[in-house]
Chains A and B, each alone.
Chain A
């Protein structure tokens, strides 16, 4: 999550869910907290009971809005205007938290003279290359004095200091502009801006919660950045009841990013070596990726320990710890990009594990077509699904498909041991509850045996290219005889390796502070070091909720069991709590160390008055009042210099790649650098397309989890069919009644769904101008035979990607809608969805009680 990473230093929620109860105000925007995170939402309800104001900003009035104090509607894809206008509001009315901003952020830094803002270049920043569609970042940087030190103006008066760059940048982000672009009524916007200001400062804090409502855009990272700037201005980062909660998706999605399922990351957020950077040898790699100042000065320790964990004794100083074994990136290898590569024949084999892109993927049809052009395809899953059954989907001709498909049955979460790292970076261990059904095995089992058998196959080979497999350490054999018998590896041993150990003794390493770059330690993921401090203690098993409300003995949170990150900022520069009410971590004068209810996220004994040393390296470069220890300069980044983000140093509003209006702020319509794949198997609607006049947004519903729960009768009966939510005005215009079949279309494809007409969907008036209708479609359905059925909305969505993380734009598109089912509809098992509830006029006596004709009556005696 580079939005948070580049602003604060770590790609994770800055706070933990239960801390929400300390908030005085909670802004939920870009998430449907109550529906997608119902259990975590209990803490929001608790906060509300304690008097916090809950705000929900969303295109749709959802179950979250229903319990929020204030709900503000908005046009999908316009958050940067909404949040930018709040930034503007705070700056023009001087309502931001001055001491915090000047001490803890880079607001006083002075931006280089030749940096040009979107205000100067009508929607693009300096350094844009219109042919390559990329930026050259050389101008996105600081002014430096003769000694090469960053020029700053503590008074924040300098016209090029970040604060004033922001002033200028957001000057046109006004309440009027919000009304005109977002369609949010002005009075609501102003009320919300005031609430945020009122509930921030020394004595009060406001928390933000977002999820994929902000990220699934062609400039999603910038949505999050805007929130980061706002929270820094309000002084809410690192403080109780403050921060930004990124609500993660699948139960272990945080863990998946930590221990690196992302193609461009190694475990612990170490960059994957790239052929396009000077990283061909370990020395070069470390040169490129070791930061001179801040915590990342430690990169060598973590990288070498990682290589030792991978290759054990084979990894020696002499052979660069086998660094050359690591593959090198040659471009964007993210999922959707790779899918296109499959379609085009450059990729010939595919492991798809625990994912169903045939239904959940953007341009789902292309995914399935891509599978057709593979040589082999392995799918490990607990259910048959659209992906593995691509060859027998509607319209496919199995006799013409050569792909060899291997479908391996996966044990589900209840059928295996393991940990989950949830939204709050908290690791919690879960024990196996039941034996896997039938032939099913845990995913770990499959990898264990892939590895073992590969090693067997290559055994005795002298070919250097086989060394990586032969040298790879692999000893996870289970000590439990029963599990060993079944070939299940020991997840404890895996965790112990991730935690790290001393290569000499095999003893566990207790903290990442002890990791070395001389090969004496091994660690499979340095941020997790400490979860398994010795062979006996697995702290992810901790279940002691007693003591302080931070419950440090419940589970274990990375890094070093800290619950709130950057919590040094919960004290003022002198190390005293900002206020009694918001006491959290502070400097203990007598003991000469940091203490509090949480593990201090700061060198334990570094006094607050320690001066910064501009010439030092590593942590000494930071003063005792620089809370963001991962950062070069220890500051919260309002301005992200040097192209850490590829599309902007400060967020600017662009319309989504498909929109219903022109960009009201700049000539530049949509992000100048987003990933576009304009090809006829990925047809886009025009940027503003009269044939597709309605906004389309997609999301999930409580009743279904992903696309995987359609088989559970108890869930399927609750939301039995794919549906779309439309506002009454549009419904009347199109002659659609609630419950009717409708067909949605984009340039890419069509899908059919049942209509749910509801006043919760509001037509928006953009300023004095256009009337905008938004249509919402849950993504939780797919064409497979299941109890709950319907087309996958993925068939409507052409692939267009964020330039930083290659996430798809599935939150804002344009579409058209018409009554009735889609054509070329063929009878067949995958086609016939469950028929509508019989609504019979029969059984309805005349008389003054009768309301709308017989809606929802059941035939006499007929059972539901």
Chain B
């Protein structure tokens, strides 16, 4: 069964429980202690070691008595794309689509080439640069026992490995709800069968529109650019850009034919030229 997330940002209270629950379950290290001055967001973005990230968007008016003022909060996560740039790009096959139809990185196979990082249209996956075996450990539970050691060494390579949301593969295998969804006090993060979630999401948009709110789904249906629908999709009340989401993501592999063709043309042209040059002694 395809499982995923419906993140309803209209229910988010910005408590960051999801962000913390994720790090706790996956034993991910902190990303440092920098004060940004950007609203209440001090982790700033998803990273190799931050797999849930809560965005805070302040939209404050100076004039109209503040009645329209908004403070948007949204918990971002790997989209688990139908056509995943990261998965297609991965040369080692470390990134697989698992039985829950989510996109999963096998850390012991990843060789740290970093190609997935530049192949995610959403800027989600990133390298876990400095892996400190002594420090907070990366969750090993997602792998069968006998591969733990490989896994550790894999992680200790200087190049690091790629890290992103596993959609709690390990928890799902144990029949648990993902840690972030479990921790969410207001059901802003809803986990379940993607088809059900999509239906629920569409109804939700209707209700909100009836209430005179503006709401739209992001990634519930084909998001275009060849990416297809997202298994982790969102209900937004502003343009995607406001939440630092791409309005028009594009699946990188769609550019390959043109690329190879252009290269071929160049090769042919130059080959012919060469042939003419070298033809006569």
Residues in A lying within 8 Å of B, measured CB to CB: 34-35, 38-39, 41-42, 45, 61, 63-67, 70-71, 73, 185, 187-188, 701-703, 713-721, 723, 737-740, 754-760, 762, 787-788, 834-837, 856, 863-864
Contacts across chains A and B counted by CB atoms under 8 Å: 139
For residue A38, which residue of chain B has the nearest CB?
B15
Contact of A864 with B44 at beta-carbon distance under 8 Å, contacts A714-B20, A714-B24 already known: yes
Least distance between A395 CB and chain B CB atoms (Å): 25
A738-B37 contact given A42-B185, A715-B20, A864-B44, CB 8 Å threshold: yes
B196 within 8 A of A: no
- Interface SS of chain B: helix, strand, loop or mixed? loop
Which residue of A61, A70, A864 is within 8 Å of B31 (Cβ)? A864
Q: Which one, B24, B40, B62, B73, contacts A759 given CB within 8 A?
A: B62
Q: Contact at B69–A71, with CB atoms within 8 Å?
A: yes
Complex interface residues of chain B between 94 and 133 (CB less than 8 A to chain A): 129-130
- Judge whether B33 and A788 touch: CB under 8 Å: yes
Taken together as a complex, chains A and B put the C-alpha atoms of A716 and B33 apart, in Å, by 7
Contacts of A39 in B (CB 8 A): 185
Contact status of A787 and B60, CB under 8 A, knowing A34-B15, A45-B13, A63-B15 = no
- Whether B39 is near chain A, meaning CB under 8 Å from some CB there, is yes
Q: B263 interface residue, CB < 8 Å from A? A: no
* 16 extra A-B contacts, CB within 8 A, seeds A63-B13, A721-B35: A41-B186, A66-B71, A67-B11, A717-B42, A717-B43, A718-B20, A754-B35, A756-B37, A757-B37, A759-B58, A759-B69, A834-B32, A837-B34, A856-B44, A863-B130, A864-B44
Q: Tell me which residues across on chain B come within 8 A of A185, comparing CB atoms.
A: 65
- On whether the beta carbons of A718 and B35 are closer than 8 Å, the reply is no
**A73→B37 CA distance, assembly (Å):** 22
Given A760-B60, A864-B31, answer yes or no on A38-B36 (Cβ-Cβ < 8 Å). no
Q: Given A63-B14, A702-B14, A717-B32, A73 and B66 touching (CB < 8 A)?
A: yes
Residues on the A chain within 8 Å of B19, using CB: 714, 718
Kindly state the separation between the CA atoms of A73 and B66 in the bound complex, as whole angstroms: 9
Closest B residue, CB atoms, query A729? B62
A34 to B69, CA, bound (A): 17
Q: Does B23 make an interface contact (CB < 8 A)?
A: yes
Point out the residue from B11, B37, B42 that lies within 8 Å of A718, measured CB to CB: B42
The minimal Cβ–Cβ distance linking B271 to chain A, given in whole angstroms, is 36
Contact code string B182-200 (vs A, CB < 8 Å = 1, else 0): 0001110000000000000
- A759 vs B29: C-alpha distance when bound (angstroms): 32
Q: How far is the CA of A64 from the CA of B13 in the complex (A)?
A: 7
Residue of A nearest to B129 (CB): A863
What B residues does A67 contact at CB under 8 A? Answer: 11, 13
Given known A-B contacts A34-B13, A66-B14, A863-B130, A718 and B43 have beta carbons under 8 A apart: yes
Does the CB pair B40–A61 fall under 8 Å? no
Residues of chain B in range 148-170 having any CB-CB distance to chain A below 8 Å:
none
A710 to B193, CA, bound (A): 38
Cross-chain pairs A/B with CB under 8 angstroms, 16 sampled: A41-B13, A61-B66, A63-B40, A702-B14, A702-B16, A713-B29, A723-B35, A739-B37, A740-B37, A754-B37, A755-B37, A756-B37, A758-B58, A762-B66, A834-B33, A864-B45
Give the residues in chain A near B60, CB-CB below 8 Å: 61, 758-760
Interface: B3 (CB within 8 A): no
Would you give the 0/1 interface string for B22-65, flagging 1 where the beta carbon is closer than 8 Å to chain A? 01100001111111111110111101000000000010111001
Residues of chain B within 8 A (CB-CB) of A65 are 71
- Shortest Cβ distance from B184 into A: residue: A42
Closest to B69 in A: A61
Q: Which residue among A63, A716, A737, A739 has the maximum number of chain B CB atoms within 10 Å of its CB?
A: A63
Q: Which of B34, B38, B71, B136 contacts A63 (CB 8 A)?
A: B71
Tell yes or no: B70 within 8 A of A by CB. Answer: yes
Q: Report the separation of the CA atoms of residues A71 and B60 in the bound assembly, to the nearest whole angstrom.
A: 12
Q: Which residues of B (248-269) have their CB < 8 Å from a CB of A?
A: none
CB of B35 within 8 A of CB of A837, answer yes
B30 and A717 contact, CB distance less than 8 A? yes
Closest Cβ of chain A to B76, distance in Å, is 15
Interface centre among B11, B14, B32, B35 (most CB of A within 10 A): B35
Is B36's CB under 8 angstroms from A42's CB? no
Q: B40, B44, B69: which contacts A719 (Cβ < 8 A)?
A: B40
Q: Is B17 located at the chain interface by the 8 A CB criterion?
A: yes
A41:B185 contact, CB within 8 angstroms:
yes
A835-B35 Cα distance, complex, nearest whole Å: 8
Q: Top 8 A-B pairs ranked by shortest CB distance?
A: A739-B37, A759-B60, A738-B37, A837-B34, A720-B33, A713-B30, A66-B71, A717-B30
Kindly report which residue of chain B lies nearest to residue A715, judged by CB atoms: B20
A836 B73 Cβ-Cβ under 8 A: no
Contacts of B43 in A (CB 8 A): 717-718, 864
Residues of A within 8 A of B69 (CB): 61, 71, 759-760
> Which of the listed residues B34, B37, B44, B69 has the most CB atoms from chain A within 10 Å of its own CB?
B37
Which residue among B20, B61, B136 has the maximum number of chain A CB atoms within 10 Å of its CB? B20
One of B29, B71, B186 near A760 (C-beta < 8 A): B71
Interface-central residue, A187, A762, A863, A864, by most chain B CB under 10 Å: A864
Q: Does A834 lie within 8 Å of B58, measured CB to CB?
A: no
Q: What chain B residues lie within 8 Å of A721 (beta carbons)?
A: 33, 35
A41 to B43, CA, bound (A): 24
A residues less than 8 Å from B17 (CB atoms): 38
**Set of chain B residues within 8 Å of A713, measured between Cβ atoms:** 29-30, 136
B38 touches A738 (CB 8 A): yes
Closest chain B CB from A249 CB (angstroms):
17
Within the assembled complex, what's the spacing in Å between the Cα atoms of A720 and B31? 11
The smallest C-beta distance from A290 to any residue of chain B, in angstroms, reads 45
The answer to whether B20 and A760 have CB atoms under 8 Å apart is: no
**Bound Cα distance A652, B84 (Å):** 64
Task: Give the one of A39, A187, A713 with max B CB within 10 A.
Answer: A713
**Chain A residues whose CB sits within 8 angstroms of the CB of B66 once the complex forms:** 61, 71, 73, 762
The smallest beta-carbon distance between B60 and chain A, in angstroms, is 3
B71 nearest CB neighbor, chain A only: A66
The reply to whether B187 and A718 form a contact with Cβ atoms under 8 Å apart is: no
Contact partner, A61, options B15, B36, B71, B73, Cβ 8 Å: B71
Interface-central residue, A716, A721, A863, by most chain B CB under 10 Å: A863
Chain A residues with Cβ under 8 A from B62's Cβ?
A: 759
Smallest CB separation, A778 vs chain B (Å): 11
Distance in Å: Cβ of B10 to nearest Cβ of chain A: 8
A42-B185, A834-B33, A837-B36 as given contacts; A702 in contact with B65, CB under 8 Å: no
Question: Nearest residue in B to A788 (C-beta to C-beta)?
Answer: B33
Max chain A C-beta neighbours (<10 A), residue from B47, B73, B186 = B186
Min C-beta distance of B208 to chain A, whole Å: 11
Q: For the complex, give the distance between the alpha carbons of A771 and B24 in Å.
A: 46
Residues of B within 8 A of A759 (CB): 58, 60-62, 69
Which residues of chain A are near B136, meaning CB under 8 Å?
713
Q: How far is the CA of A544 from the CA of B73 in the complex (A)?
A: 34
Chain B min CB distance to A863 (Å): 5
Proximity string of chain B (72-84) to chain A, C-beta cutoff 8 Å, 1 when within and 0 when not: 1100000000000
Check if A45 sits within 8 Å of B186, measured CB to CB: yes
Complex: A760 Cα to B67 Cα, angstroms:
12
Give the most central of B30, B44, B129, B187: most A CB within 10 Å: B30
User: In whole angstroms, what is the CA distance A739 to B35 when docked?
Assistant: 7
Residues of B with C-beta under 8 A to A863:
31, 47, 129-130
Closest to A855 in B: B38
B34/A836 in contact, CB under 8 A: yes
Point out the residues of chain A lying under 8 angstroms from B31, CB to CB: 717, 863-864
Assembled-state Cα–Cα distance A41/B19 (Å): 18
Say yes or no: A66 contacts B38, CB within 8 Å.
Answer: no
Known contacts A66-B14, A713-B136, A187 near B65 by CB under 8 Å:
yes
Cα A788 to Cα B30 in complex, Å, equals 12
In the complex, A66 Cα to B39 Cα: how many Å? 13
Residue in chain A with minimal CB distance to B37: A739
State the CA gap A703–B23 with chains docked (Å).
14
B13 contacts A720, CB within 8 Å?
Answer: no
Inter-chain contact B130/A714, CB cutoff 8 Å: no
